[in-house]
Structure 1
C-alpha cells in the first residue's frame, strides 16, 4: 500500500476525509481473522482498556507495523461493535494525543452482510520509534507485547533512524552526566535579555526539549549529541569512547618520520576543539591575516615554523568534529602535523559524500544536524567560521598559494592544508 505520511494533524484529518484509502475485501479480512493473532495482527472484541490498547499500538508501530481488528473475540468470532463511529473517534484521539510521536493510522470500518461491523486499525513504522504516555517503549514478540529493554530501545533508534545516529540514546548515561553549568550558560547566552532567571526548568527537561535526550520511564536519557555537546568533559571519554581526537607532530613529511609528540584527547566537543587548537598552536604559527606568505632562505639550517591562516584551521577542525560519523567505531579523528602541511582525517561513510559537491558548492547532508547547529551557535562559546569547505578553500589558497587537497577514501574524509 502506497502512503503519503501526513506531517500535521490537519493533513492527517484531510487524508481521513478526502483520500480514497484502499479497503480490505471481506474475504481477505475473514482470512486474516481465521489465521489468528501473530506478530502483525491483534484481535480485540471491543475498545475498553485504553492503557493496554496504547501499549499494543506502540508495540506494533515499533515492530514493523501491523493491524488491530476491533469487534472480534479471542475465538476468532466476529461479534461486531455497537458504536463503530465512537470507537473510531476514540482511536484517533489515542493515536494523536497518547503516543509520541503521534501515530497516523489507516482506520477501516467494515460491515458484513449480517449487519455486524468491525474496525481495522492499520499501523506502520514510518514515524517510529514511539513511546506511550508513561514514556515507555513497547515491542511485539509473536502475539504478545512487552516493554523494550534499554539496549533494544537503542537498536530501535539505530534501525529506524539510521541516518541520525546523533539521536540515539546512550543508556549507559544519566542526566547527571550532563554539565548543568554549560547547558545554562548556553541557554543564557542564546536568549540574551529574554533569559528568565526564575524559569527554574530542570536540566533534564531542557535537554529533552532541545532533542538532546529522550524520555524513558521517569527520567531523561541523553543522546549521543547531548553527551558530545554538554557532557562533563572528564566523563565523556568513558561514556562514549568515540569522542576522541589523536594529535601528533611528525618531524618530516610522512608517517615514517620520527614522532615528536603524540597525544589522544577525550572530552566533550568544546574541549576537543580547544585542545586541538592548542596542540596545533605549539608547532605552527596561526595568523588572523591572509597575507602570510613569505620567502624561505635555503641557507637557514633550521626550518622555520610553518604559517597557517587561523580561520582555515578552525573550519577544518569544526568540519571534523561536527561531520564525523560517530557510528564508525574504531577510528578517532586524527590530526597529523608535518613540517610543511597539516593532515586531518575524519571517519565518515564515503557513499554519502560527493567531493565535487563539497568543494565547489558546499553541498553536504549533515550527519549530525542538531549537533552542528548547537556547536556553531555563538552561544556555545566557540569561535567558528561561516561558509564551510568553499570558504576554507578560498582562505587557504589566498594565504598559502596552494589549494587544500581533499580525498574521500573508504570510511575516511581527508583534508591536507599546506603551510607557508
Structure 2
C-alpha cells in the first residue's frame, strides 16, 4: 500500500471492512472490530488515522509491536490477522491489521465475547446470531443438537416411540433387521447416546419432559376466522417430541382444513378430499421440524389456517448461501440439525436428502394449486399455500352456516347451476325449500346472483367474489 492508496482509503472513510484508530492506545477496541470482521467478510484496522480521516501516524516501538502481537491470541478459535507497517517519514508509521476470516471457523470471539460489524459500527453479536453461526460450523461438536442433555437420562424418553422408529426403519429398509430392541443400543446407533449421555437431539425426537429446560419443543396451531389474526375459531399450543407434534399437527389439519368435494362419476356419492394434499403439508411440517433453530428458547413451529391460505412458520433462518427462491430448484442439502433429520430419514418420513421443498412444489402443482410461496422474515422461515379456486368465507356481515358455505363452494365450482343440481352435490342435502332459502339469503348478502325463473332458474357466484 503506497501513500496515494492510503490517502484514497482515508478519504473514503470508515466502512464495514475499514476502521481508523488514531493510535494503538485503542488496541482493545480495534480487536473487537477485527473480531467482528472475522465474523463477516474480513477487513482492516488502520492505526495512525483519526476517525475524521486525517493521516497522523504514530511511533511504533518494540513494546507496541509486542502488545499488538499478543492481542490476537485472545481470539477463539484462533484468527488470522496479518500485520503491515507503512513508513510515513519523520519517525511516524501507519500500522495496518488485516482480518482474514475462515467461514468454516465462525463465530469468532474475542476475550470471551462475539462481535459483529454492521456498516461502520462494531457491536456485541446477538446470542441468536452467535448460536446460528455456531450451528453452521462443520465441526459437529459445536452444534446445539449434539450438546449434552444435562440432567436427562434414557428413562426420560418415549421408549415406545423409539421402538416404533426401529420398526418403521426396518420396514423402510433403512435400518438392519438386526437392530433389536435394546433402547440404549438403538440410541447409540442413532447417534443420540454417547458415553452413556444423551444429547439434545434425543430430547427433541423422543423426550417426554420439556419444561423448563426445553420450551422450544413446541407447536402452535390456529384456525383463524377470515384472512387475518383478529379472531380465531380454534387455537392450541402444545409441547412434545417431534413425532408427537407432527401427529398433533396432522390431526389439527384434518379437523380444520376446508374440504374440496366432488361427485364420483357413476356413483350417487360424494368424495371429500382435503383442500391441500395432506402429503404436501406433512412434508412441509417435517421440513420445519428438521431445519428450525432449536437454540431459540421461545421458538416453535407454527401452523396457521386462514379462510384463503395456509401457512407453516418455523423459527430460524435459511442456511448461509440459500435464498427462498433456491428452495424451488435443485440445491445442496444443508439441514440445520443433521442428526434430527437423519432419524426422520431412517424412519422413512424423509424420502430423499435435499428434495423436501421441491417435492412440496411438485405435489402442489400436481393437485392443481399454484406453487407455494417460501419466505424468510423476522428470524423465521415460512411456506404459504394458496388454493387454486374459490374458498367460501366464514363471515359476511354475520356468520355463515356450514351449509351456506357448502352451497357457495358448489356454486363457485359448478355455476351457473340449478337448485336440483346444487342439492345433488351436497353431502347431506336438506329439503329443497331450505336450500332455496339459503340461496336467497346469500343473494341478499350479494354473494350469488340468479338468472331465469322457477325451475329454470340458475345460480352463480357473483363476479366480485370469483375474481
TM-score, structure 2 as length reference: 0.47
CA 395–188 in structure 1, closer or farther in 2 if over 3 Å, else same: closer
State the secondary structure of the residue aligned to 2:164: helix
The answer to whether the aligner puts 1:223 opposite 2:199 as a matched pair is yes
Alpha-carbon separation, structure 1, partners of 2:216 and 2:207? 13
Q: CA deviation at 1:207?
A: 2.0
Superposition pairs of residues 113-132 of structure 1, within 5 angstroms: none
The answer to whether the aligner puts 1:180 opposite 2:159 as a matched pair is yes
Alpha-carbon separation, structure 1, partners of 2:142 and 2:360? 26
State the secondary structure of the residue aligned to 2:294: coil
| Residue matched to 1:414 | 382
Q: CA deviation at 1:327?
A: 1.2
Please tell me the root mean square deviation across aligned C-alpha atoms, in Å: 4.2
Superposition pairs of residues 19-418 of structure 1, within 5 angstroms: 161=140, 164-191=143-170, 195-196=177-178, 201=182, 203-215=183-195, 219-220=196-197, 222-232=198-208, 235-256=209-230, 258-285=231-258, 307-350=275-318, 352=320, 353-378=322-347, 387-418=355-386
CA 355–194 in structure 1, closer or farther in 2 if over 3 Å, else same: closer
Q: CA deviation at 1:332?
A: 1.6
Q: CA deviation at 1:168?
A: 1.5
Does the aligned pair in 1 maintain the 2:218–2:239 contact within 8 Å? yes
Does the aligned pair in 2 maintain the 1:175–1:204 contact within 8 Å? yes
Q: CA deviation at 1:230?
A: 1.9
Does the aligned pair in 1 maintain the 2:277–2:367 contact within 8 Å? yes
Q: CA deviation at 1:401?
A: 3.0
Alpha-carbon separation, structure 1, partners of 2:319 and 2:160? 39
Does the aligned pair in 1 maintain the 2:328–2:358 contact within 8 Å? yes
CA 336–363 in structure 1, closer or farther in 2 if over 3 Å, else same: same
State the secondary structure of the residue aligned to 1:281: helix
Q: CA deviation at 1:205?
A: 4.3
Does the aligned pair in 1 maintain the 2:210–2:240 contact within 8 Å? yes
CA 176–251 in structure 1, closer or farther in 2 if over 3 Å, else same: same
CA 173–315 in structure 1, closer or farther in 2 if over 3 Å, else same: same
State the secondary structure of the residue aligned to 1:344: strand
Alpha-carbon separation, structure 2, partners of 1:163 and 1:406? 29
Alpha-carbon separation, structure 2, partners of 1:305 and 1:200? 38
Does the aligned pair in 2 maintain the 1:250–1:337 contact within 8 Å? yes
Does the aligned pair in 1 maintain the 2:254–2:274 contact within 8 Å? no
TM-score, structure 1 as length reference: 0.52
State the secondary structure of the residue aligned to 2:367: helix
Alpha-carbon separation, structure 2, partners of 1:372 and 1:194? 19
Does the aligned pair in 2 maintain the 1:342–1:417 contact within 8 Å? yes
**Rg larger for:** 2
| Residue matched to 2:21 | none
Alpha-carbon separation, structure 1, partners of 2:376 and 2:235? 25
Does the aligned pair in 2 maintain the 1:266–1:272 contact within 8 Å? yes
CA 409–175 in structure 1, closer or farther in 2 if over 3 Å, else same: same
| Residue matched to 2:404 | none
CA 207–162 in structure 1, closer or farther in 2 if over 3 Å, else same: closer
| Residue matched to 2:412 | none
Q: CA deviation at 1:223?
A: 1.2
Q: CA deviation at 1:347?
A: 0.8
Q: CA deviation at 1:164?
A: 2.5
State the secondary structure of the residue aligned to 2:152: coil
| Residue matched to 1:55 | none
Q: CA deviation at 1:389?
A: 0.8
Q: CA deviation at 1:249?
A: 0.4
Q: CA deviation at 1:242?
A: 0.5
Q: State the aligned residue count.
A: 257
Q: CA deviation at 1:237?
A: 4.9
Does the aligned pair in 2 maintain the 1:358–1:390 contact within 8 Å? yes
Does the aligned pair in 2 maintain the 1:406–1:414 contact within 8 Å? yes
State the secondary structure of the residue aligned to 1:308: coil
Q: Structure 1: which 5+ residue stretches go unaligned?
A: 1-62, 66-125, 128-153, 287-291, 295-303
